[in-house]
Amino acid sequence: MSTPHTTATARYEGHLRTEATHTASGTVIQTDAPVDNHGRGEAFSPTDLVGTALGTCILTTMAIVAERHQLNLVGSSFKMEKIMSQEPPRRIAQLNVEVHLPASLGDTERRLMERTAHTCPVALSLNPEIKQEVRFVYEELS
């Protein structure tokens, strides 16, 4: 049963798969355990979603600031690499995010976007023991 404050619900489907529903929109995502942890790896793992949340939060927060400054970030993207700890307990040890932004941004705009990326809500919410490496690539976007 959903309450007005419920953000998402999820149901375990068996075979280490869940199906989660965003309450407000009805959008559905599935997760699978990764292959290296007894799963099939046929969908995002829960820890993949953490890294993806960091990347999408960076892009979204930069876009909010860009709109305020009348900058166009359409076509910007990210690549994310998640590194799990080698020793127990199993956890995310490091998230590497490579952010691709328009080459047309000037030095001041680049500094603004980079500062914004490092202060997005997900970056600030992650455990400080998770190393966050964010790299910026300025290029012609397609």
State the pLDDT at residue 5.
85
Per residue in 17-73, pLDDT tens? 999 999 999 999 999 999 989 999 999 999 999 999 999 999 999 999 999 999 999
Q: What Rg do the C-alpha atoms of the chain give, in angstroms?
A: 17
DSSP string across 89-129: SP-EEEEEEEEEEETT--HHHHHHHHHHHHTSHHHHHS-TT
pLDDT category, 1, cuts 50, 70, 90? low
Q: Would you tell me which CATH number, out of the four given (3.30.300.20, 3.30.590.10, 3.40.1550.10, 3.40.50.300), belongs to the domain 46-139? A: 3.30.300.20
Q: Kindly state the tokens that stand for 133.
A: 């490496």
